[in-house]
Structure 1
Amino acid sequence: MIVFAIYALIFITSFVVVKTLARKAMTDYTALKTVTFGDESAVRPNRIASVISVLTIFLLWGAFTGSKLVPSMLHAPGPFMGDASFNYTAEAEGVAPDDATVTVRVFEVGTDVQPPEIAPGSGWAKNDVDTVGAWRSGLIRVDKNDEYGRDVGHTVTAVNGQPIAPGGEVMTEFGRVGMSPKGTLNFEPAKGWQMEPIWLPPPEAVVARLVEIANEGYRDSTLWEHLGWSLFRVIVGFFFGALVGIPLGYAMGLSDWFRGWFDPIVEFMRPVPPLALIPLVIIWAGIGELGKIILLFLAALWIMAIAARAGVSGVAISKVHAAYSLGASKWQIMRHVIVPNSLPEIFTGARVAMGVCWGTVVAAELVAAEKGAGMMIMVASKFQLTDIVIMGIILIGLIGFGIDILMRLAEKALVPWKGRI
């Protein structure tokens, strides 16, 4: 919630500041044109907002992971590390209560640490030492070195002067001291606001892992082989999905018989998530490459069919009548009226289908794949290698974004009349 609150605050602040400065510097009054529905030129992405958005995400990521790429003054409070101490009061049968001190060295997980050295004290309750990793907790048997143990009723009754009982807790400046149902103290150092690396590593750790895998590969394959296989599966699955889906959509848009025959099938399959088809595809086609491509084919098929059908159905009937009045044949109407007017819808569907296929291939590769971005993420998650998981997610997002940009450029080059006819 804290992260979302900070993100919302940065969004509102940057919006107000940028808009205020833009109004003062505005000289182009055409930017104030009224937005018209369907007019894509009316609203264009604000590049300043895009830059600030990306920087904000990176800043929050670095601030809440203690990244060295972000100034330390912007870091969120981190976990406590160092020597923590608290006092406890112990009671035993036949002796007066006594106080002792527990010193705990909190260290970064994965580094070597030595327990602190302290004097045992002069009372029957002896001072204790222990070590606990940051973001972890540890049981501390304070009675182990005391002169009177549990065999004579040793119990801890207070921590830092505050009463404590089994199931209770006392908050100290270094963290939480709880008591188990059996009376053993449990120390949990203060965690702060930063994320533990096992849950969210800092950006530099992800970059380092990317460089390592790019140079050395992962599971007997290079990074480019993993990404290349994923891209190959997507392209092949999308190609065959479009090859079948576009003619099917045209047939449904031009013939009431085809529309009536295939509409129930298309509308039934359209809302079914491709991931729900994985068990059926495995049963039918096995766990090899054919099954993965069939799954991606099905992911693209229905989207392309609906896009082509919508493109044909959206052609203005006045254009068809005008072409007929000029003596055009059915083939000429198809070639010069139907196809050009339906291409914008088809390209929109293609962009959606490519996005769905790219997202589906990751799930398809979770099943018995030897190469692929999804396989990398799946294997890494089993060993809690979060940096590889995040690296894979970022690469998938970048490649997906690149695919969408290429689709937009192709649409701009092949359908320059979009929005003009």
Structure 2
Amino acid sequence: MIVLLIYVAIFVASFFLVKLLVHKTTRDFTARKTVTFGDESAVRPNRIASVISVLTIFLLWGAFTGSSWVPGFLHAPGPFVGDATFTYTAEAEGAAPDDATVTVRVFPVGEDVEAPEVDPGAGWAKDDSDSVGAWRSGLIRVDRNDGYGRDEGHTVVAVNGEPIAPGGEVITEFGRVGMSPKGTLNFEPRKGWQMEPIWLPPPEAVLARLKEIAQDGYRDSTLWEHLGWSLFRVIAGFFFGALIGIPLGYAMGLSDWFRGWFDPIVEFMRPVPPLALIPLVIIWAGIGETGKIILLFLAALWIMAIAARSGVSGVKISKVHAAYSLGASKAQIMRHVIVPNSLPEIFTGARVAMGVCWGTVVAAELVAAEKGAGMMIMVASKFQLTDIVIMGIILIGVIGFGIDILMRFAEKALVPWKGRG
């Protein structure tokens, strides 16, 4: 919630700042333009907003992970590290209540630290020491060195002067002191707002892991082999999906019989997520490459069929009548009218299908894959190697975004008439 509020605040502040500094010094008539359907030039992405958006994400990532790439004054409050102390009051049968102090050394996770040495003091309740990792918690048996043990009715009744009972807690400046149902104290250091590296490592840790895997590989394969296999599976599945889906869509858009025959099948399979088909694909095609490509083929097939059908159905009838009036044959109408006017919808469907295939390839590679970005993520997650998981996610997103950009360029080159009526 805190991260979301900060993100919204940066968004609002950036919006008004850019409006004030940029739009006041330039003549921009885009806002005066009437937005019309089919006119992609009506609203274009603000590049300044895009840059600020990406920088904001990385700033929040670094600030809430204690990254060295972010200035220290921008860091969110981190976990407490150092020596924490609290005083407990104990009672025992036949003895007056006594106080003792517990010193807990809180250390960064991964370091080997011993508990500090303390003087036990003169009372029957002896001072204690212990150690616990940041973001962790630990039980503290304060009665282990006291003059009276639990057999003599040793009971902790207060922490820092505040009463405590089994199941209760006392909040100190260093963290939380709780009591288990059996009366044992539990110390949990103050966590702050930063994320523990096991849940979200800082950006430099992810980059260091990327360099390591790029040089040494991962599980007997180079990084480029993993990414190459994922890319090959996606392209193969998309190719076969488009090879069958586009003609099927054209047939459904041109023939009422084909439309009636295949429409129930397409509309039934369209909302079924590809991940739900994994067990069936494994039964039918096994766990080899064939099964993975079939799964990606099914992910792209229905999208491409619907895109082609929509493209054909969206052709203006006036263009068809005009071509007939000029003496065009059915083949000429198909080639010069229907295909060119349906290509924009097909390219849009292709971009969507590629995105779905990229989202599906990770799940497809979870099943007995020896190479692939999804395999890296799956294996790393088993060993809680979050840096490799995030690295794989970023690489998949970057490659997917790159493919989408290439398809946009191809669309502009092959379909320059898109949005021009």
> Given the two structures, how large is their TM-score scaled by the length of structure 2?
0.99
SS at match of 2:106: strand
SS for the counterpart of 1:34 is coil
SS in 2 for 1:315: coil
Q: What is the CA-CA distance between 1:311 and the residue it aligns to? A: 0.6
Structure 2 match to 1:245: 245
Q: Deviations over 1:73-93 (max 9, x none)?
A: 000000000000000111111
Give the whole-Å Cα distance in 1 for the aligned partners of 2:140 and 2:216: 43
C-alpha distance in 2 between matches for 1:420 and 1:140: 74
3-state secondary structure, aligned to 1:214: helix
Aligned residue identity for 2:189: P
Residues in 2 aligned to 1:311 and 1:197: alpha-carbon distance in whole angstroms? 48
> Which range moved further: 121-130 or 14-23?
14-23
Query: Following the alignment from structure 1 to structure 2, what is the Cα–Cα distance between the partners of residues 27 and 415?
Result: 31
**Deviation at 1:112?**
1.4
> 1:141 corresponds to which letter in structure 2?
R
Give yes or no for contact 2:30–2:42 (8 Å, CA) kept in 1. Answer: no
Q: Is 1:360 the equivalent of 2:360?
A: yes
Q: Distance in 2 between matches of 1:413 and 1:173?
A: 64
Structure 1 vs Structure 2: percent identity of aligned residues? 87
Q: Residue 245 of structure 2 aligns to which amino acid in structure 1?
A: G
In 1, Cα distance between the equivalents of 2:283 and 2:54? Answer: 43
Separation of aligned partners in 2, 1:32 and 1:222:
52
**Which runs of 5 or more structure 2 residues have no equivalent in the other structure?**
none
User: Mean alpha-carbon deviation: is it higher for 411-420 or for 17-26?
Assistant: 17-26
Aligned residue identity for 2:103: T
- The corresponding residue for 2:306 is 306
Matched, 1:114 2:110: no
* 1:143 has 2:156 as partner: no
Show the counterpart of 2:217: 217
User: 1:420 Cα shift?
Assistant: 1.8
> 2:30 & 2:133 partners in 1: Cα distance?
61
What's the secondary structure of 1:24's corresponding residue? coil
Q: Which amino acid aligns with 1:63?
A: A
Mapped partners of 2:172, 2:258: distance in 1: 74
Q: Give the partner amino acid of 2:270.
A: R
Match of 1:264 in 2: 264
Which letter maps to 1:277? Answer: L
Deviation, structure 1 residue 17: 1.1
* Contact 2:253 2:309 survives alignment (8 Å): yes
What is the rounded CA distance, in whole Å, between the counterparts of 1:201 and 1:28 in structure 2? Answer: 42
State the Cα deviation string for residues 325-353 of structure 1 (Å, max 9, x = none).
Answer: 11111111111111100100100000000
Correspondence for 2:72: 72
The one-letter amino acid of 1:234's match is V
Cα separation, 2, equivalents of 1:12 and 1:27: 22
Distance in 2 separating the partners of 1:360 and 1:190: 40
Find the aligned partners of 1:158 and 1:195 in 2 and give their Cα distance.
Answer: 31
Structure 2 Cα separation of the partners of residues 262 and 305 of structure 1: 10
Counterpart AA for 1:299? A
Spell out, residue by residue over 1:51-106, the C-alpha distance to the aligned partner (whole angstroms, 9 max, x if none). 00000000000000000000000000000000000001111111111111000000
- Structure 2 CA distance for aligned equivalents of residues 237 and 29 of structure 1: 44
Count residues in correspondence. Answer: 421
Aligned partners of 2:30 and 2:43 also within 8 Å: no
Give the aligned partner of residue 419 of structure 1. 419
- State the alpha-carbon separation in 1 of the partners of residues 86 and 341 from structure 2: 77
SS of aligned partner of 1:25: coil
Structure 1 position 247, deviation (Å): 0.5
Aligned to 2:203: 203
Corresponding position of 1:327? 327
Pairing of 1:69-218 with structure 2 (within 5 A): 69-218=69-218
Give 1:28 deviation, angstroms.
4.1
1:30 positional shift:
5.5
Match of 1:48 in 2: 48
- Which amino acid in the other structure matches residue 299 of structure 2? A
Task: Specify the SS of the correspondent of 1:188.
Answer: strand
Gaps of 5+ in 1: none
Q: Tell me, yes or no, if the aligned pair for 2:281 and 2:291 is still in contact at 8 Å.
A: yes
Q: Deviations over 1:5-56 (max 9, x none)?
A: 0000000111111112233213244553222232111100000000000000
**In 2, distance between residues paired with 1:245 and 1:312?**
13
Q: Give the secondary structure class of the aligned counterpart of 2:22.
A: helix
Normalized against structure 1, the TM-score is what? 0.99
Tell me, what secondary structure is at the counterpart of 2:170?
strand
